[in-house]
Structure 1
Amino acid sequence: MHGIPPPDFYKANWYAAVDKENSKIGVGVIVRDSGGLIIASLCSSISLSPDPLLGEAVAALGASSFYSELGLNQIMLEGDSLAVIQAVQHKDESWSPTGLVIRDIKIVLSKVQTWSIHYISRKFNVIAHALAKFALTCSEEHIFMEEYLPCIQYLL
């Protein structure tokens, strides 16, 4: 379900890049409005066990929390980790590290008026991917409002 969100909705795509050598996860999030315009983007890196599933869950939590911080109430989340998406959609709980992050995502989303989460093919998630890769080179979080990092200019 890639594309532009319905009127009055915002869409966030997220991606996690894993640097196994340095035990680091790069998180990239891009938020668009119903007109397809970029309203915000986020790059951050976290020192974490280089587990790809945990990284994707942390990135989805980052996207959910970013929405919350922006004060958005009608949201669509899109990511290319089917396992994370299914875990958020189901009621089952797990006490694994990834399960605890999924629980946090559900808590954040429970405070949002209307939300949905969808799978998107990796080939349609290239902007969030580029942001996550860039995040691996950053030592601090970067948030851009109504503008974007030069590292994604060629993708727009």
Structure 2
Amino acid sequence: MQNRSLELFFHLLANMDEYMRGDYCIILWGIWRQRNDKVWNGTSKDVPTTIRFAREYLYDWLGAKKFNRTMLEHHTRDKPCQIWHKPARSFAKCNVYAAFIPEEQKIGLGCVVRNDDDSFFRARTCAINGVAGVKEGKAIGILEALLWVQSLGLKKVCFELDAKVVMEAINGSNIGVFEFSFIVRKCKDLIRSEQDFSINFVR
């Protein structure tokens, strides 16, 4: 059932123009975000408000892409990446997302890979049974993404996630003994085996 849903999703995307694809995807993102707000914060919005918020977010993002690149580089110099931009030439970029479903005791994971021309390449979603803290869940997401991208045969990939503590743990040198550190160690081993894999933080 899940595979058929994904096939339908990508079939619809393939038959839409660029504007419709953006609108379709951002509305789905808005629904997903609203679901998380309901679960974690107990807040809810009506459908028109959810759609309006999602579209406004998309318009803001499109506007951000038009910023003067020199000013952007100056603003982010020597800082973790906080605004999405396309990867360096010949590299791919994989954005990693994690959602927590406590009532089902599952972690939902999503990965989207884009090419260096900002075009869509591949996406994946999956659910993992179990309960985990936020940083552990995000670390599991990166680990799953590393394994998946490696299975695709990609060699030059920048991974991005919205968990600074996970990024710093993977890129740092300290290794602990807890579950989080065990996941981080596995991520480090995979990155060491692929010299052109990197992990960055993005808001």
User: Deviation of residue 113 (structure 1)?
Assistant: 2.7
User: In structure 2, what is the Cα distance between the partners aligned to 1:22 and 1:47?
Assistant: 8
SS in 1 for 2:180: helix
User: In structure 2, what is the Cα distance between the partners aligned to 1:94 and 1:22?
Assistant: 29
Larger Rg: 2
User: Deviation of residue 48 (structure 1)?
Assistant: 1.5
- Alignment equivalent of 1:45, drawn from 123, 127, 131: 127
1:6 aligned residue: 88
Whichever residue aligns with residue 3 of structure 1, its letter is H
User: In structure 1, what is the Cα distance between the partners aligned to 2:132 and 2:93?
Assistant: 27
- Determine if contact 1:20/1:50 at 8 Å carries over to the other structure: no
1:83 aligned residue: 165
1:22 aligned residue: 104
- Determine if contact 1:25/1:55 at 8 Å carries over to the other structure: yes
User: Deviation of residue 34 (structure 1)?
Assistant: 0.3
Give the structure with the larger helix fraction. Answer: 2
% identity of equivalent residues? 26
Structure 2 residue runs of 5 or longer lacking an equivalent are 1-80
- Higher relative contact order (Cα pairs below 8 Å, separated by 6+ residues): 1
Whichever residue aligns with residue 43 of structure 1, its letter is T
Q: TM-score, structure 2 length as denominator?
A: 0.58
User: Deviation of residue 115 (structure 1)?
Assistant: 2.3
- Determine if contact 2:191/2:198 at 8 Å carries over to the other structure: no
Whichever residue aligns with residue 18 of structure 1, its letter is F
Superimposed CA distance per residue, residues 81-103 of structure 1 (whole angstroms, 9 cap, x where no aligned partner): 00100000011112211111111
Structure 1 residue runs of 5 or longer lacking an equivalent are 122-156
1:140 aligned residue: none
- Determine if contact 1:12/1:29 at 8 Å carries over to the other structure: yes
Give the structure with the larger strand fraction. Answer: 1
Q: How many residues align?
A: 121
SS in 1 for 2:104: coil
User: In structure 2, what is the Cα distance between the partners aligned to 1:50 and 1:117?
Assistant: 21
User: In structure 2, what is the Cα distance between the partners aligned to 1:95 and 1:42?
Assistant: 30
2:138 aligned residue: 56
Q: TM-score, structure 1 length as denominator?
A: 0.74
- Determine if contact 1:18/1:26 at 8 Å carries over to the other structure: yes
Whichever residue aligns with residue 202 of structure 2, its letter is I
2:189 aligned residue: 107
User: In structure 1, what is the Cα distance between the partners aligned to 2:198 and 2:113?
Assistant: 14
User: In structure 2, what is the Cα distance between the partners aligned to 1:30 and 1:92?
Assistant: 29
